[in-house]
């Protein structure tokens, strides 16, 4: 099925570094979501974006809904060991049979 | 209570076995979902129940049979599975559907291994 282009696929960083990941699509969306999944757990919603150009923060996390409605990025500032996990973006447009379209994930490892 | 509870957490079953996965939520949500997730891949939607009626079946093989006995419970009955069905099975719920997938709470999942 349709998937989003999410990059990078994986990152290995030092504790305290900032992280940036993004998702792009050939289709427009009216909602962008960012999830984090820890090993053996279900995804947890981090940030939801509903408007083109919207910039939203959740603690050390910041995400933006691109003005073209075809992309979004997630930044994590001052990474800590518990940031380790897989981060997924997902886009929603009611025209896509009301389904979420998921990115393939960015695996983040943090070296203490 | 913002939890979606799934049982069991782990399940190993043979290809001739019949087993069931269970999911429960007490948030008053009227939409519930089953997803399948393979390692290092995003969740794939399998079924959506809205107000206890099956709204979406993503062409899932009949060896997977969902059931929604009431608005708080969702089951997934498994029969004659194949080894390639081994995966993390996630349940989720949301206030309603559509758009509900964008506001869904996920359970911890059941790690299923078919031997």
Q: What's the CA angle centered on B11, arms B9 and B12, to 5 degrees?
A: 155
Contact B102 A92 (CB under 8 A): yes
CA A37 to chain centre: 11
Is B97 near chain A, with CB under 8 Å? yes
Is B61 near chain A, with CB under 8 Å? no
Interatomic CA distance for residues B37 and B40, integer angstroms: 8
Rg (chain B; Cα; Å): 13
Average pLDDT of B64-90?
97
How far A18 CA sits from the closest chain B CA (Å)?
23
Contact A42 B108 (CB under 8 A): yes
Residues B1-12: pLDDT tens digits?
569 999 999 999
The one-character DSSP state at B28 is -
Contact B41 A88 (CB under 8 A): no
Interatomic CA distance for residues B88 and B37, integer angstroms: 5
Mean pLDDT of chain A, nearest integer:
93
Is B8 near chain A, with CB under 8 Å? no
Contact B90 A107 (CB under 8 A): no
Residues A45-99: pLDDT tens digits?
999 999 999 999 999 999 999 999 999 999 999 999 999 999 999 999 877 666 7
Residues B57-74: pLDDT tens digits?
999 999 999 999 999 999
pLDDT band at residue B110, thresholds of 50, 70 and 90? Answer: very high
Of A95, A48, A59, A6, nearest to B41 by C-alpha is A6
């Amino acid at each position: 099925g349709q998937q989003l282009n999410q990059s990078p696929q994986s990152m290995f960083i030092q504790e305290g570094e900032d992280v940036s990941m993004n998702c792009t699509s050939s289709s427009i969306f009216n909602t962008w979501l960012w999830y984090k999944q820890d090993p053996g757990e279900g995804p947890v919603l981090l940030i939801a974006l509903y408007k083109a150009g919207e910039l939203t923060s959740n603690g050390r996390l910041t995400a933006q809904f691109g003005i073209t409605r075809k992309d979004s990025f997630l930044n994590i500032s001052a990474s800590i060991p518990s940031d380790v996990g897989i981060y997924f973006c997902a886009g929603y447009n009611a025209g896509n049979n009301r389904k979420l379209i998921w990115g393939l994930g960015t695996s983040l490892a943090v070296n203490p | 209570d913002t939890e979606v509870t799934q049982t069991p957490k782990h399940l190993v079953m043979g290809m001739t076995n019949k087993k069931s996965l269970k999911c429960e939520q007490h948030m008053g949500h009227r939409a519930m979902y089953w997803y399948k997730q393979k390692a290092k891949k995003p969740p794939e939607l399998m079924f959506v129940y809205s107000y206890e009626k099956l709204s979406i079946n993503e062409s899932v093989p009949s060896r997977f049979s969902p059931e929604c006995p009431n608005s708080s419970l969702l089951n997934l009955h498994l029969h004659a599975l194949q080894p390639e069905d081994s995966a993390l099975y996630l349940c989720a719920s949301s206030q309603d559907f559509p758009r509900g997938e964008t506001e869904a709470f996920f359970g911890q999942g059941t790690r299923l291994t078919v031997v």
